[in-house]
Amino acid sequence: MDFGRSKSKFQEVPETEVTFADVAGADQAKLELQEVVDFLKNPDKLPLGRPPGTGKTLLALAVAGEAGVPFFSCAASEFVELFVGVGASRVRDLFEKAKAKASCIVFIDEIDAVGRQRGAGFGGGNDEREQTINQLLTEMDGFSGNSWVIVLAATNRPDVLDAALLRPGRFDRQVTVDRSDVAGRVKILQVHSRGKALAKDVDFEKIARRTPGFTGADLQNLMNEAAGHALVGALMPEYDPVAKISIIPRGQAGGLIFFAPSEERLESGLYSKSYLENQMAIALGGRVAEEVIFGEENVTTGASNDFMQVSRVARQMVERFGFSKKIGQVAIGGPGGNPFLGQQMSSQKDYSMATADVVDAEVRELVEKAYSRAKQIITTHIDILHRLAQLLIEKETVDGEEFMSLFIDGKAELFVA
């Protein structure tokens, strides 16, 4: 049984392959962290704070790369388990490993998962999370003057951290990693384009000025999300061809995909069951692309509107269009009520709770099926996703013909049932 062992990832110096040159748009934070590199022999503990996606984890890796020391990394949430005492045991194990490899850096991501203000738990100050933070404080207090271990931590919520964590001798310096300005976003785009062939007319400054408030993660996600929608759309049978893909923000949308419906469909206004199923899969392509590229833990809120669209279509298929075998060829949940209330509030549910459970289950099944189809397409054609994302970096807007040229024969032949 190894419940008490730390799940931290260990990297020797050559394997980090990240230096300050790889971190763009965070000049002030790099300047402050350079002191940590210069004075590594004088142990210190340092928290990195501020918005998600700004490069806190990358900065921690860069410090290790610049200083040429081993790097331990873990997520604070990995400390706490169901069993009492596991968190404290894992903290002890992590610091024992770190001291054995000194000089080294210990990086704890999302420190607020265990480092929140104590006394707010249901255990009266004795819950597992609070035992874990108490052990962390003990370990940091136990560093001697020649322990040669630097502790870095990252959080998006520095305001909720326990005051004891921030006192002198523990995390006694805070480095703020803010969102990049225009110049910073230009540097971020330049870093992401290294080693890639770019068109001669690529204007990074133009792209940067059109993406105010975007972090490095936002810029990367924007391209992959747009590419995911387009890729799934191109590989769906009997669906409208892709006309244009753009990552230029419009209103609340970070980017848009334009499809060219046929004249027949526009005139009739009729949609088949397969068409609506394809529409849902395409809408979910952006979230799927984020998950495949960055992992489940790093997806963003960018797909919130897509989820609303998919949920609405799936519910209409079940309640209004007769596309559910369990509900049958009936229309239920018709509109009505006070016209001044919102659409959801004014909708009358003219069916029982038992039927409502069936409707919800059918809606969920439709959405999950659409998500699986989108994921199968993107994982099968991940190379095209990467090429399209790179093309969007270069040009911001790609027309349908140029997009289809990314396929070997210029046509999208693979359809997923």
pLDDT, one tens digit per residue, over 73-127 is: 888 888 876 556 788 888 888 888 888 887 788 888 888 888 888 765 544 444 7
Within 284-325, residue ranges assigned H as helices are 285-294, 304-319
* CB contact at 8 A, 60 and 154: yes
Q: Hunting for tokens 């490993």 — which residue is that? A: 97
**Taking all residues of the chain, what is their mean pLDDT, rounded to a whole number?**
73
Torsion of CA 349, 351, 371, 267, to 10 degrees: -70
Mean pLDDT score, 15-43? 57
Per mean pLDDT, which range of 42-51, 237-246, 374-383 is the poorest? 42-51
Q: What are the counts of helices (DSSP H) followed by strands (DSSP E) for the chain? A: 17, 9
Digit-coded pLDDT (tens) for 202-214:
677 777 776 666 7
Q: pLDDT band at residue 317, thresholds of 50, 70 and 90?
A: very high
| pLDDT value for 156 | 81
| pLDDT value for 304 | 83
Q: pLDDT band at residue 338, thresholds of 50, 70 and 90?
A: very low
pTM tops 0.75, yes or no: no
The CA–CA distances, whole Å, from 217 to 52, 57, 85, 305 equal: 8, 11, 35, 19
Q: pLDDT band at residue 365, thresholds of 50, 70 and 90?
A: very high
> How far apart, in whole angstroms, are the C-alpha atoms of residue 118 and residue 110?
16
